[in-house]
Structure 1
Amino acid sequence: MRLRGLILAVAACLIADAALAQSQGLRRLTDRDDLLGWEAVGRLDNAQGGFCTATLIAPDQVLTAAHCVYDRARLREAGELTFRAGLRDGIAIAERAVAAIAVPAAYDPRKGMALDNVRHDVALLKLNQPITTADADPFVLHQGSAQGTRISVTSYGQGREDALSRQRECEIVAESHPLMAFDCNVTFGSSGAPVFVLNGQRGRILSVISGGGVVDGKTVSLGMALPEVVQALKADLRRQGVPTQTPTVRRLGAGEGRSTSGAKFVRPSGS
């Protein structure tokens, strides 16, 4: 199915209940040995009680979905967000407050999953203090085509919010650069989760989960290519020059959205 048609179908068949998510293929990362190598994936909690999934891509930088830093149409203050690396059963490998946020101005939280919105549904957060690589080794971004590669997703979600769950293998079901659709097992709280491709012995981040719906009885999630948008967001964080313990928020550049409504994976209490 062409990606545009698939996304329109998703927009017409919104996920109304987390129970619609697939129940097969997930492994809970319960103990320290299970978590080894995945500590850089964590839960991004907001002050209103909602959460998303996020990933360290540098000791003081966390990648997630843009809609995770909004409360409906309001851009959250950085101090409302906390990143908990490798959180499992109430214990985090490391916990840091967010000091700064960079999001593309082209992302419009009111426009849902319009094609030109999903492609910009990315946020880069600066932590108030770095997390050492001894505690959590950041992941790097995948460069180039993902055709013919195996993908996997590691995420939190509603009903499995206390520990990471990993799906070892799922598929890209449609692609039209920079947009991608996956059949991976994701649900509310999985927004911002990293989609990995295997590169040697360690995964690289291909995309982050934006949202999705049900198409032909299948749960489908949507994401985007990352290198260009993340490079711009990194430059924006550098320009901000935010010192430790000084929360700020800045939007990146100028842009525009497109009008089409849709769904994101969100919790009733927030992102």
Structure 2
Amino acid sequence: MKKLIAMMAVGLWLASPLVASDPSPLRTLMTGDESRGWEGVGRLNIGRGGLCTGAMISESLVLTAAHCLFEQSTGARVPPDEIEFLAGWRNGRASAYRGVRRAVVHPDFSFAAGDKAARVVNDLALLELDHPIRKSSVQPFAVHSRPRKGAEIGVVSYAHNRADSPALQEMCQVLARQSGALVMSCSVDFGSSGAPVFVVQDGKPAIVSVISAKAMVRDIPVSLGTSLEQPLAELMQMLTDGNGVFTRTQPVSRPPVGTFGTGAAGPGGAKFLRP
């Protein structure tokens, strides 16, 4: 049924005109000043060379896309001890380094689903860090309700061709929203999976979605993401109950990233274009 709904949603997207203003260009956050306020977004190193983006929603929880936690070749789940979160990773240094203690994927997500839209609807995962990040320079983000069609949004992401520094697209747009998924004009690439999609709420960025995939609709490049409200609430409950949670096989005393070094960034507010 969920797959059928997702397929119907694609039909609706194709049947409706996609009208959007030109999105702002991607801007690489190279310096400490440019990155200030975005340190809660980090690079996820996953398994053998996997790369995704994640964002903190609390001192201990990172939000990302569910498909990031599966091996592309085999479809097997990646164990939590093979996942590293590098908060604010930029130019070879991070504001904080953490391993992952527990991971939970939305129960209705199917990695094997052949239809991309069917995967998008519940493409959401939560990672519990092995140690909380309690630094004034690394602040988690609030979560906001699903944005309306036409709302201006922004994305902070890593990708395969810019894996050493995050990039900010300050203004793109929600083109459509159907059956729990968003179609957006934001520019994404491989590695952008799990990247947080923001609106400005009370002068601060709040997460409204995560990037699941890129696609073409009527020859227009778009990005696809899931709505957070119900899926995120279900994930939080699963983490509380311990249902469907993958855990480390052995505890660790420190994040397994010792070869990377350490770093820190100064405090400050995120620079983000108000919608």
Please indicate the TM-score interval, normalised by the length of the shorter structure. 0.7 to 0.9
Comparing 68-77 with 138-147, which one deviates more in the overlay?
138-147
Q: After the TM superposition, which residues 129-208 of structure 1 pair with which residues of structure 2 at under 5 Å, given as runs? A: 129-143=131-145, 145-208=147-210
Secondary structure of the corresponding residue to residue 230 of structure 1: helix
Match of 2:11 in 1: 5
Tell me if the contact between 2:45 and 2:51 (Cα under 8 Å) persists in the aligned partners.
yes
Counterpart pick for 2:121 among 119, 122, 131: 119
Distance in 2 between the 1:132 and 1:84 partners?
14
Amino acid at match of 2:53: T
Amino acid at match of 2:176: A
Secondary structure of the corresponding residue to residue 228 of structure 1: helix
Distance in 1 between the 2:24 and 2:92 partners?
25
**Deviation sequence 1:130-155 (CA, Å, 0-9, x none):** 01141311011112543443101110
Match of 2:58 in 1: 58
Match of 1:102 in 2: 104
Comparing 196-205 with 74-83, which one deviates more in the overlay?
196-205
Amino acid at match of 1:155: S
Secondary structure of the corresponding residue to residue 143 of structure 2: coil
Match of 1:209 in 2: 211
**Deviation sequence 1:121-173 (CA, Å, 0-9, x none):** 00000000001141311011112543443101110012111100000100111
Distance in 1 between the 2:82 and 2:188 partners?
24
Q: Which runs of 4+ in 1 moved over 6 A?
A: 6-9
Distance in 1 between the 2:12 and 2:25 partners?
23
Match of 1:43 in 2: 43
Tell me if the contact between 2:158 and 2:192 (Cα under 8 Å) persists in the aligned partners.
yes
Distance in 1 between the 2:114 and 2:94 partners?
31
Secondary structure of the corresponding residue to residue 74 of structure 1: coil
Identity of aligned residues (%): 38
Secondary structure of the corresponding residue to residue 233 of structure 1: helix
Q: With structure 2 as the length reference, what TM-score do the two structures score?
A: 0.78
Secondary structure of the corresponding residue to residue 104 of structure 2: strand
Tell me if the contact between 2:199 and 2:205 (Cα under 8 Å) persists in the aligned partners.
yes
Distance in 2 between the 1:23 and 1:118 partners?
22
Secondary structure of the corresponding residue to residue 57 of structure 2: strand
Distance in 2 between the 1:186 and 1:105 partners?
26
Tell me if the contact between 2:149 and 2:177 (Cα under 8 Å) persists in the aligned partners.
no
Distance in 2 between the 1:139 and 1:57 partners?
5
Amino acid at match of 1:5: G
Question: Over aligned residue pairs, what C-alpha RMSD do you find?
Answer: 2.3
Distance in 2 between the 1:44 and 1:118 partners?
19
Structure 2 unaligned spans of 5+? 1-7, 16-21, 250-275
Secondary structure of the corresponding residue to residue 112 of structure 2: helix
Distance in 1 between the 2:12 and 2:177 partners?
10
215 and 8 in structure 1: CA distance in 2 versus 1, 3 angstrom threshold:
closer
Tell me if the contact between 1:108 and 1:117 (Cα under 8 Å) persists in the aligned partners.
yes
210 and 136 in structure 1: CA distance in 2 versus 1, 3 angstrom threshold:
same
Distance in 1 between the 2:195 and 2:95 partners?
18
Distance in 2 between the 1:24 and 1:202 partners?
19
**What's the offset of the Cα at 1:195?**
0.7
Tell me if the contact between 2:14 and 2:217 (Cα under 8 Å) persists in the aligned partners.
no
Distance in 2 between the 1:205 and 1:175 partners?
16
Tell me if the contact between 2:90 and 2:165 (Cα under 8 Å) persists in the aligned partners.
yes
Secondary structure of the corresponding residue to residue 97 of structure 2: strand
Structure 1 unaligned spans of 5+? 10-21, 249-271
Distance in 2 between the 1:7 and 1:45 partners?
33
Match of 1:263 in 2: none
**What's the offset of the Cα at 1:117?**
2.4
**What's the offset of the Cα at 1:106?**
1.3
Comparing 149-158 with 105-114, which one deviates more in the overlay?
105-114
**What's the offset of the Cα at 1:5?**
2.3
Tell me if the contact between 1:63 and 1:122 (Cα under 8 Å) persists in the aligned partners.
yes
Amino acid at match of 1:78: P
- Number of residues paired by the alignment? 231
**Deviation sequence 1:101-131 (CA, Å, 0-9, x none):** 1112211111154434211100000000001
Structure number with bigger Rg = 2
